[in-house]
Amino acid sequence: MKKLLLIAGGLVALGVLAFAALIGISLLRDDDPNLLTSAPEITPGPDTAPPSGSSSAPLAGVLKFVIDPSGSEVKYVVRETLRGVIGVNAVGATNAISGEIYLTPEGLAPGITSTFTVDLRELRTDESMRDNFVRQNVLQTNRFPNAEFIAQSITGFPTGYVEGQEVPMTLRGDLTIHGVTKPVEWAVKARRAGDTLTGIADLSFNMSEYGITPPSVPVARAEDGVQLQITILAKLAA
């Protein structure tokens, strides 16, 4: 039972999704094998166009990065008791994430919304029955199909940057799941090389904060806590 969405921004990577559909994990260790611990490396190569539907940055001095779903992923980990076994991690993921990140040399571009959206209907685990239960009874995706994050500020944005270097930052903004909007802080690690931006963004929250009841069936019960991670690949708009 799970779900989510994240964001990571440029040198800041906006971590979308940050969101999750089910969710429920007591504290997840930093070394949990289900999650990444650093921003993906950027392999030098020919420039590629951003995903279709994107347009150029609207203002001079503003860089617009468009999330590429083919290299991005939203993942949630929920701790559950399964058939009497305590501490089993349920992991769900999707690459159905879209969004845009607007940056200047100082951080997020003022007056322009950096946001991303995750299609919660596309979250998948290793159990299709669990996925159906989460969509219908937990996330209620027929009423709330998407999770959305709107970035507000970044702390730790570098004033000087070495290309390809990983930079830790804190990304703050508003996360909407299940029709409820809450302020959140993502722990971000991001890097940029040329026109490519990558990053991971981690967030912990409780399902109950978003009006979601932790799933419970005869053979399995999820905890209230959720660990959400978003892996971002974004391309600079032409």
Residue 6 in this model has a pLDDT that exceeds 50: no
Residue 84 pLDDT greater than 80, yes or no: no
pTM of the model: 0.78
Q: What is the pLDDT of residues 142-183, one digit of tens each?
A: 999 999 999 999 999 988 888 899 999 999 999 999 999 999
Yes or no: say if 172 and 154 are a contact pair by the CB < 8 Å rule. yes
Strand, helix or coil at 62? coil
Percent above pLDDT 90 for the chain: 56
Please report which confidence band the pLDDT of residue 70 belongs to, taking 50, 70 and 90 as the band edges.
very high
Gap between the Cα atoms of 77 and 43, Å rounded: 28
**Rounded Cα–Cα distance for residues 144 and 79 (Å):** 23
Q: Where are the domains of the chain?
A: 2-236
- The Cα–Cα gap between 85 and 106 comes to 49
CA 153 remoteness from chain centre: 16
Q: Does the domain at residues 2-236 carry the CATH identifier 3.40.250.10?
A: no
Per-residue model confidence (pLDDT) at position 27: 28
